[in-house]
């Protein structure tokens, strides 16, 4: 009798280890393929992200140009076939103004968590291996992608999703072509999804106690120092905290005050950190930001809301699809996987949001995600325009913070055995597709 619980515990631990190995293997293969097939800098500002990692703990300021080491990587790696802009020949010496965008570093507006963690891990590896900081920093993307899969799995399990279905959702989300491309190139998007997912997990575990409140606020602070676009996830958390008591059947769980207090705390923590960091970036500028080429290119005197509102309504429904990806990932099978993934994500969010009092936790999270899926693009465009007079067309990656929550509620919506098998099939197809 005494060995039975112990045996069950060992089985659970063995299963957890096997899942972690699966996630790590999928991530390593995916990121490795991106590194092998696409040695060029990603057009998603990868050089400035590398420069931030290279110079850390120094944080780039507005008007600073990319370091000589960053320019050397850019010149010697040239540009990918889909990016026709020329760069100077490899070997130097380099003049920043001869590079695209006059060689300005534009990453300093992003807080330092991703860059600091990557730099701290990468530098010791560079010292004891023949690999460059560029390659090691890219390879660390496999760890970020593994963390994303783990967070999706834990979030889904918190919602009561069976282990196999949670694992399937984690795998097919993590192996979506554009998610793999993001993890396999330098940039804070995957890290933003990870820390945003941790904030959602902390919200699901919030029980009104001071300890849980501090845990929640700490998770929100972690998201805030990763990237400002985490505001979408924090918004979903705030909606969850306010709505969940309203949907609860148990009178003990219908107390509004703890949820409102936590929601206000989340808003205050994220708002203060983001405001302070933004103020620091603006006041540390070396030049007039309106003279920086990318800002000149994106300058706008008005936003034609009537022409863009329909597209923005569905931009964030599937943040893991529709973004930049290397040409080798853009084939017919990948297109099919992306289309199916987009469909199940949209269905998952809607089904979860409509669960209402039958599943108050799930529905509150689903409603939070739905609200922010619809509202976040407008908030982001409005903030950029009214604060900086900038406008650019949003891609789904700006909604990456919502990705773990969307994947988790999708797993819940497909938790029934027959539906779960469909997700397992999609996960298997994602693995096969990546390897072929």
> What is the predicted pLDDT for the residue at 431?
85
CA–CA separation, 365 vs 78, rounded Å? 44
What are 341-344's contacts with CB under 8 Å, separation 24+? Answer: 341/172, 341/173, 341/176, 341/426, 342/317, 342/318, 344/410, 344/414, 344/423, 344/426
- The DSSP call for residue 328 is G
> What is the predicted pLDDT for the residue at 2?
47
Spatial CA neighbour of 195 closest among 233, 157, 167, 160 = 233
> What is the predicted pLDDT for the residue at 358?
74
CA–CA separation, 157 vs 161, rounded Å? 5
For 138-165, b/e burial (b = at least 16 CB within 10 A) is bbbbbbbbbbbbbbbbbbbbbbebeebb
> What is the predicted pLDDT for the residue at 1?
44
Provide the residue ranges of all domains of the chain, joining segments of one domain with +: 26-64+104-292+307-435
Spatial CA neighbour of 35 closest among 146, 137, 187 = 137
> What is the predicted pLDDT for the residue at 368?
97
> What is the predicted pLDDT for the residue at 273?
97
Q: Bridge partners of 104?
A: 65
- Per-residue confidence in pLDDT tens, the chain, 436 aa: 445 676 777 677 888 899 999 999 999 999 999 999 999 999 889 999 999 999 999 999 988 999 999 999 999 998 888 777 789 999 879 999 999 888 999 898 999 999 999 999 999 999 999 999 999 999 999 999 999 999 999 999 999 999 999 999 999 999 988 899 999 999 999 999 999 999 999 999 999 999 999 999 999 999 999 999 999 999 999 999 999 999 887 777 778 889 999 999 999 999 999 999 999 888 887 787 777 888 788 888 888 887 787 777 778 888 877 778 888 777 777 778 888 888 899 999 999 999 876 788 999 999 999 999 999 999 998 888 888 888 888 888 899 999 999 999 999 999 988 888 888 988 888 888 777 7
CA–CA separation, 176 vs 184, rounded Å? 12
- Dmax (CA) for the chain in angstroms is 75
405: Cβ contacts below 8 Å, ≥ 6 apart: 155, 196, 197, 200, 233, 236, 365, 368, 369
> What is the predicted pLDDT for the residue at 357?
67
Peptide bond into 361 cis (omega under 30): no
> What is the predicted pLDDT for the residue at 309?
78
CA distances from 412 to 169, 265, 416, 427 (A): 10, 28, 8, 15
């Amino acid at each position: 009798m005494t060995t039975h619980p112990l045996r069950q515990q060992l089985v659970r631990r063995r299963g957890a280890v096997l899942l972690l190995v699966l996630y790590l293997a999928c991530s390593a293969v995916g990121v490795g393929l991106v590194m092998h097939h696409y040695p060029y800098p990603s057009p998603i500002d990868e050089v400035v992200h590398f420069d931030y990692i290279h110079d850390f703990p120094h944080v780039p300021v507005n008007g600073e140009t990319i370091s000589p080491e960053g320019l050397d990587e850019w010149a010697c790696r040239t540009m990918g076939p889909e990016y026709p802009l020329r760069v100077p020949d490899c070997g130097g010496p380099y003049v920043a103004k001869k590079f695209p965008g006059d060689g300005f570093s534009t990453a300093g507006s992003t807080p330092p968590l991703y860059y600091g963690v990557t730099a701290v891990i990468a530098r010791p590896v560079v010292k004891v291996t023949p690999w460059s900081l560029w390659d090691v920093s890219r390879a660390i993307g496999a760890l970020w992608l593994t963390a994303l899969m783990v967070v999706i799995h834990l979030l889904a399990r918190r919602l009561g999703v069976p282990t196999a279905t949670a694992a399937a959702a984690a795998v097919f989300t993590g192996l979506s072509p554009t998610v793999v491309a993001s993890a396999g190139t330098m940039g804070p998007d995957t890290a933003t999804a990870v820390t945003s997912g941790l904030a959602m997990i902390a919200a699901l575990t919030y029980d009104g106690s001071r300890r849980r409140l501090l845990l929640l606020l700490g998770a929100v602070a972690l998201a805030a120092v990763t990237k400002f676009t985490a505001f979408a996830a924090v918004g979903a958390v705030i909606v969850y905290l306010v709505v969940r008591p309203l949907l609860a059947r148990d009178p003990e769980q219908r107390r509004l005050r703890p949820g409102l207090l936590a929601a206000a705390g989340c808003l205050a923590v994220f708002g203060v950190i983001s405001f302070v960091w933004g103020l620091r970036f603006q006041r540390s500028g070396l030049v007039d930001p309106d003279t920086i080429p990318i800002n000149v290119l994106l300058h706008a005197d008005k936003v034609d809301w009537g022409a863009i509102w329909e597209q923005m309504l569905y931009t964030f429904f599937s943040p893991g699809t529709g973004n930049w990806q290397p040409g080798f990932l853009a084939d017919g099978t990948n297109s099919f996987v992306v289309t199916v993934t987009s469909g199940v994500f949209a269905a998952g969010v809607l089904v979860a949001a409509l669960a209402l009092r039958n599943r108050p936790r799930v529905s509150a999270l689903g409603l939070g995600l739905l609200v922010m899926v619809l509202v976040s693009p407008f908030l982001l465009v409005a903030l950029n325009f009214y604060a900086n007079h900038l406008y650019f067309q949003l891609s789904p990656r700006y909604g990456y913070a919502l990705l773990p929550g969307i994947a988790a509620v999708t797993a819940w919506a497909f938790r029934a055995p027959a539906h779960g098998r469909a997700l397992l099939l999609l996960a298997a197809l994602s693995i096969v597709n990546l390897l072929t």
